Structure 1
Amino acid sequence: MTPTLIQGVHKGKVSSAVNSIAASEGFSPEYVQECIGSGSIVIMQRDGHYTGIGKGLRTKINVNLGTSSSKVCLDDEIKKAQIAEKFGADTISDLSMGGDIDRIRKTIFSSTSLPITTVPVYQTVSEIGLKKMTADDILETVRSHAEEGMSSLVIHTVTSAMLAQIRKRKRILGVVSKGGSITSAFMAINECENPFIEHFDTILHICQDHDIVLSLGNTARSGCINDQRDMLQRMEEKNNVYLAEKAHAAGVQVIIEGAGGHIRLDRIAPMIRRYKKMADFPLFVAGPLPTDIGVGYDHIAGCAGASTASAAGADYLCYITPAEHLGLPTVDAVKEGLIAFRIAAHIGDTVKSGVMAEDRSVAMLRSVLDREGQVRCAIDPERASSLSDGEPECTMCGDFCAIKIIQELQ
């Protein structure tokens, strides 16, 4: 059997993936190797395309797309995948739950070169049903996705003890994780342990065979800022760290999802730091949203929360679109959400990594009133150009431009 990336590193092998990430992120191959060996960096691989996530690396952005049980338009999902790649997403998650899911996934896969993540239980429950599906059905979907070349798979690791906490209904919004709620309901209906935990070794073997990054889902994330950190979250943190260590020991790269959902702003950084103190595995954060009133503008609220999370040490952000809580996002909404979270990631990187060269370039161009140069350096040049009034100079201040006034004074 071909060794996994971790197993290769432990044997002293410097792979093309390691060299690629070292070159693109500005680190030595030895640093990247050391971090892969400790589990603090993972590399998603797809046909020679590598995305490094973790310690010291640029904060990465994931774009969710895919059909729902009530809205299926393959053309839209293809466009979303293309927009995601064009505007700088690092990975894509296909969360399709409606239509011909196999065909949709394969079409999205062929429409982009980015690494693709899936949540296999979504397809299982969509096609077989919550009351009819079995643990074998779930494992078969996991195996099928792995064989198709997915770069990462998500499982939710709810335990029986966590399920008991969920049933106490102490939160305003109980479990807002779709995968977590499906897994919990499966356990309750069948009066069984979580199949992802019961068959964890089998899942690790599948991930080993295909060198897939295993992502441990965030079932316990809060659904509103009034639902504070609780016993359910503490139990999930401890359980996910334990399973991550087991996966890493088996040579499987692993990411922990946590500190996502809705969290009051002042609580975000302490929560991120708590996770990073517990374990050095890459931390994947959905959002977080620091307010519940931004409906229709949740990508903006999410940018505020995500920049705080990134600055505090989050390695990987899952974007939020303006359609969050409202409906399946349009192509335009996907772009808006992605740009907002690219800004958030960059803000975080200026703090945790001191990455400010791009900001300095824009500032220097601004200091000489080079508006076209600023537009070229913008994160979205098309958008910046469209807001320039079509005039040769900025029309905000006219004759009373502060920069001009001070230049003349000097």
Structure 2
Amino acid sequence: MKQIERYIFIRMALLTFWSLSAVTLLVMTTQVLVRVNVLTTTGQAFGAFLLLAATLIPSVLTIVAPFALLIGVSQVLSSMNSDSELVVVEAAGVPPATVFKPVLMLSATVSLAVLLISHFVEPWSNNKLHDVLAQAQSDLFSVAVRSGTFMKLVEGLHVQINEKLADGQMGGIFLSDNRTEGNETIYYARSGVVRKSEETGSNILFLVDGELQQRDLTSDRISIVTFTSYALDMAAFIPAGSAPAMRPNERPTQYLLHPDPDDYFMNGPKNAITQELVKRFSTWMYPLAFGLIAFSFLGKARSNRHEQFQNGALVAAIALGSRGLGFYSTEASGINQTMEILSYVVPAVLILVFGLLALTGRTLTIPKAWAQLNYRVMDFCAAQIARLQGRGRAGEGHST
């Protein structure tokens, strides 16, 4: 790599890194605050907060990495144009590939990192996140015993305990579970106790003398089962001894490619497994696409600084529009095959079109008609601001 290429690459890499760190910290903070009520209610230690934040980092990185790269590449190219560095590079007879090579290398590196995180790191972190929240939900029972009020463990799962009895037992247990779409399950028991399982080490809620009511919301059928004893694994609130259903974002890619035919997430109203596969195999393309877009509009010296600013705005608009369409198509891919195909087509077309432009040495700019219209709008706004400021000064002079 030549010295000028190393110079450009290092500048872009540093700005991308700091942009990624700042945006990741901001997004991660909002995600932690969404879940912090469970930890604070149960009195979890500060280490639990750090663990919760750490498990959220991989999923946040895959989302913000393309935008951090876009900021890094666009800002460095714009700065080089403003400081006339691109003019000097072109005047020295340096081919456009000299500027394009660092952009391509950085974009490919970020894309590869996103690919590895999506397939290996993020599933593990999502599984760990589930364990952290499950432990906090288990501890919520002690809070529910003290308060005697309804306590929401997670969305769709509520518990109420009337009183605390001798030997750590609880009286009047009511548990409502609406987490499964189209199904409602209610547990009621006269008493119960929490014991740790010697085999699994998890907390088991033993219900004594109660009823289990299951209601199918689609057909409005209700089935009632009376029991003398019933055991629930508090880590996932499923019958003790049953295997908890892992969500697709916690599964390795190998399983998602060959799932169990009876997997609930595959046979549900929305194929969440297909949705997760589309997400993992399409997200990695956006950093490469964004880098090529930024170079195609900003990789050549511009004498008009307004034009450079407008090109930057157009780059941001194309990136935001394509990524927004990608989010929508990925979300709908589990129920619509057309959207599944579109999830791959959008970033692939961006890479193909802007990659060909970059390889052939061609750059794009905002159309002249748009530029002239923008100039008129900016001149009109400047004139209106100046007129308002003139009226303000005249009013002050009259008052004095």
TM value normalised by structure 1: 0.23
* Bigger helix fraction: 2
TM value normalised by structure 2: 0.23
